[in-house]
Amino acid sequence: MAPDLVRIEWVDSGQPIPGWQWLSDLGKRRPHKCVSVGFLVQDDEQTKVLAPNLGASNGDDEWDQASGLFTIPTAAVTKIERLTSAASASMTTFGQAAE
């Protein structure tokens, strides 16, 4: 069974400004709004871990591998939207519903 496919909105720190800056010249800074989509393979009080890729090593529908894992601190998450659940997901193969 595949983990839920989700869309997570979250905030991240901005890229450091190189070199010295006059404090009087600084513009207002704020966190960057981000969005990520993937299979939610870990969901706890500390982290949300997304995997864009799942693999079935036996060639069946038993997803037992993931690659491209991406970790988001739970404290940075502003919204999670479930796109599909494993129970409601259906596959389409070359334009026809899978059996």
Q: Please state, as a whole number, how many other Cβ atoms lie within 10 Å of the Cβ of residue 77.
A: 15
- 94: confidence class by pLDDT, cuts 50, 70, 90: low
The residue behind tokens 């190189």 is 18
CATH of domain 1-12+31-86: 2.30.30
Structure confidence at residue 34 (pLDDT): 97
The residue written with tokens 């909105």 in the block is 9
Looking at residue 89, its pLDDT comes to 53
User: pLDDT tens across 20-74, in order?
Assistant: 999 999 889 899 999 999 999 999 999 999 999 999 999 887 889 999 999 999 9
Q: What pLDDT, on the 0 to 100 scale, is given for residue 86?
A: 53
Main-chain dihedrals φ then ψ at residue 85, nearest 5 degrees:
-110, 160
